[in-house]
Amino acid sequence: MVAPGGGAGGGPSRWPAAEELDIVRKKVVDISGRDEQEVRVAACPYRICPLGAHIDHQGGVVTAMTINYGVLLGFVPSNGSEVLLQSGQFEGVIRFRVDDLQKPIDKPENINWESYARGAVYALQNSGYDLRKGIIGYISGVKGLDSSGLSSSAAVGIAYLLALEHVNDLVISPVDNIQLDKYIENKYLGLKNGILDPSAILLSRYGYLTFMDCKDCNIICQRRVGIICGFLSAKRLPVLFCMLQAAKIHQIYFAMLIQLYMRPRSVY
């Protein structure tokens, strides 16, 4: 399933674009030597939080919406339990096995891009899921938006969860995946994150603002958001975000001014 396509007249921008998916698939083909038709892509969007940012882990009521930028993880199942990953943003190659015993990160400064893949395995293992197959994959985010407050880490964690679940024939609900991603952040990485980020990524709907009660872990309601269509092109979104962050203007104004693209996660 793909978000509504764009075109003349300032309509919503399609994400991920066919060109983006093709690039990721070809990278996986180069890494794995497999046929392009075997490659699947997990697409996990970034999110903004108009109200309630940083209070989700305290049980507050928050709002969120996803945008048309995010993380793409192209992957094929490995022939055994090996995980082999490359990144569009970071150097090096990750190699480990899904049957390896994963130990939680002891210090925050030891967290790196490899940690999220290992954390996904750790969360699934410790939640009773049987992992027999690993993945060969290539993950890519949006350059310049890492550590920008758009939940890129949650998008990465969920992408790895979806890929591992797919190759191991695991059927896990979005609600359970929210808790699995929280497990990665809390138990493996040692961070005090709540459910805001994974809930926004996994439960948001196109054209809606998502309300959630983080104390009860329940989605309260979803309301359609009226936005000034065509006010800004999608390409200007990162620039506007940086400007507003620099000016310390509350994110509610950011939500009012941009064209929103509510995009649930998918595996293509």
Q: Which residues are catalytic?
A: 197
Long-range CB pairs of 111-114 (<8 Å, 24+ gap) are 111/189, 113/87, 113/89, 113/156, 114/85
What would the two tokens of residue 10 be?
């300032």
Q: Does residue 45 sit in helix, strand or coil?
A: strand
With 0-12 / 13-18 / 19 or more C-beta atoms within 10 angstroms meaning exposed / middle / buried, residue 10 is: middle
Rg for the chain (alpha carbons), in Å?
18
Polymer length of the chain: 268
